[in-house]
Amino acid sequence: MAKDNPKDQKKEHTPKEHASKEQQKAKSKEQHQKVQVTEAHKGAVIPMPKGYKVRMSDMYLNTVRPALMKDFNLTSPMAAPKITKIVINIGVSEAKENIQALDLAKEDLTVIAGQAPQIRRAKKSISNFKLREGMPIAVRVTLRGTRMYEFFDRFVSVSVPRIRDFQGVDPRFFDGRGNLNMGLKEHHIFPEVNMEKSPKARGMNITFVTTAGDDKKGKALLEYMGMPFKKPEVKQAPKA
């Protein structure tokens, strides 16, 4: 009788080999989970859960948009102004001498926005400021969609009331096309920032980009969304 070719024979795994492979898979799975947990603790951005809805988005669709259509006599919902994006920028001038300051600002902005920021570099060299082209000097993040509405909700409801001597947002901050530019002196108004890790107050600029086209519609949109604007002073008539 012809002997069977050993190549044609299939290798039969012993129960010990099966057990060892299952143990290796379990170990690799545990290590992967540990890595994910440590990354989350270090400040990694966690994706939004499926079906998550922000109350500010529902508020715009159900309340703000119909009110804007009524105020400005708009026939189509698509013609109603809306917020398209929010841009947050933090300048770090000391990054020229200490690059760790830039890393710290990047961590703070990640926690504030819930999204990893982009490092901005100098576009040209300026000798008086000891600045060379290509130097990292700022961090910027652009928010859209769900994260945009979620940040707007936190900013208006929690952060704005923490501004020192706040008397309302000046309507003169609009750029003429319905976009609002705000400058903040301290990023500590956001409760997400850890004061122990970031004791130095950093200024930041926030731009609310809208489709309004003019300041009147832009102000009406943000006012309906909850932005507290400064009320004009009413001059009292002199007493006779």
Q: Give me the pLDDT at residue 10, please.
A: 47
Domain membership of residue 108 (yes or no) is: yes
pLDDT-based confidence at residue 205 (cuts at 50, 70, 90): very high
Structural domain including 143 reads 81-225
Q: Give me the pLDDT at residue 34, please.
A: 40
Q: Give me the pLDDT at residue 236, please.
A: 64
Domain membership of residue 2 (yes or no) is: no
Angle between helices 99-113 and 145-154 in degrees, nearest 10: 90
Cα separation, 119 vs 223, in Å, equals 32
Domain membership of residue 7 (yes or no) is: no
Q: Tell me the whole-structure pTM to 2 decimals.
A: 0.73
pLDDT-based confidence at residue 166 (cuts at 50, 70, 90): confident
What mean pLDDT comes out for the span 145-164? 90
Average pLDDT, the chain: 79
What mean pLDDT comes out for the span 167-179? 89
Domain membership of residue 161 (yes or no) is: yes
pLDDT-based confidence at residue 50 (cuts at 50, 70, 90): confident
CATH of the domain at 94: 3.30.1440.10
Give the rounded percent of residues in the chain with a pLDDT score beyond 70: 75
The helix (run of H) or strand (run of E) holding residue 151 is helix 145-154
* The two three-digit tokens of residue 56, written as one number: 């500010």
Give the rounded percent of residues in the chain with a pLDDT score beyond 90: 28
Domain membership of residue 43 (yes or no) is: no
Range of weakest confidence among 31-40, 54-63, 120-129: 31-40
- Domains of the chain: total: 1
Q: What is the DSSP string of 103-134?
A: HHHHHHHHHHHSS--EEEE-SS-BGGGTB-TT
pLDDT-based confidence at residue 211 (cuts at 50, 70, 90): very high
Q: Give me the pLDDT at residue 61, please.
A: 92
pLDDT at 41 over 70: no
Domain membership of residue 121 (yes or no) is: yes
Task: Name the more confident of 57 and 196.
Answer: 57
pLDDT-based confidence at residue 104 (cuts at 50, 70, 90): confident
Domain membership of residue 15 (yes or no) is: no
Domain membership of residue 6 (yes or no) is: no
